[in-house]
Amino acid sequence: MTVLIILGVLFLALIVIIPLIEKSNMRVSDESAAKISRWIWPLMIVALIAGMLKAFL
């Protein structure tokens, strides 16, 4: 039952958040997108290593 409640809340959040994002006209410039994408892989590697350490310890 808890899973259904969580899924319901997530679905309602999507219904509310998506129209708000579309109305805000928030655009990401190419420079800021390049800056963000440069950090994604290193952060994923750090998260993977932290998860492995947590599983082993």
Using one digit for the tens of pLDDT, what is the confidence trace for 7-55? 999 999 999 998 888 888 777 788 888 888 899 999 999 999 999 999 9
- Name the amino acid, one letter, at 14: L
pLDDT of residue 50: 96
Quote the pLDDT of residue 29: 83
Report the C-alpha gap between 55 and 18 in whole angstroms.
35
Residue 51 confidence (pLDDT): 95
Q: For residue 6, what is the DSSP state?
A: H
Q: What is the pTM of this model?
A: 0.49
